[in-house]
């Protein structure tokens, strides 16, 4: 399985990525080794996930989400929050 995920950063910004191992990837981000963007904005919290059967579908969805405005991303989180985590306002 592959996953698209959204992380809430300490500055309330949102980071979107994809992975084939969600638990490991979030752990790597949390340790400051996941990406340059999240490294400077620790701690991060997983606030959204979507599951896909293949890499290409996950990457396409990641791209779609990255094209959304912040307002649209927040609406996505509010309407489809699959992690049951705190929603960023």
2-80 has which CATH code?
3.40.1440.10
Which residue(s) pair with 20 in the sheet?
A: none
Question: Is 76's pLDDT higher than 80?
Answer: yes
| Mean pLDDT score of the chain | 91
Domain coordinates in residue numbering, the chain: 2-80
pTM passes above 0.75: yes
Dist CA 46 CA 54 (whole Å)? 21
pLDDT of residue 75: 92
Strand-by-strand arrangement of the 2-8 sheet? 14-19, 2-8, 45-52
Q: Are 48 and 6 in contact (CB under 8 A)?
A: yes
| Model pLDDT for residues 16-35, shown as the tens digit of each residue | 999 999 999 999 999 999 89
């Amino acid at each position: 399985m592959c996953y698209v995920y959204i992380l809430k950063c300490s500055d309330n910004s949102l980071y979107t990525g994809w992975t084939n191992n969600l638990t490991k990837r979030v752990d790597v981000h949390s340790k400051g080794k996941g990406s340059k963007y999240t490294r400077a904005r620790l701690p991060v919290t997983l606030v959204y996930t979507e599951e896909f059967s293949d890499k290409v579908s996950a990457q396409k969805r990641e791209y779609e989400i990255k094209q959304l405005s912040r307002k649209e991303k927040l609406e996505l989180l509010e309407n489809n929050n699959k992690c049951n985590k705190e929603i960023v306002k």
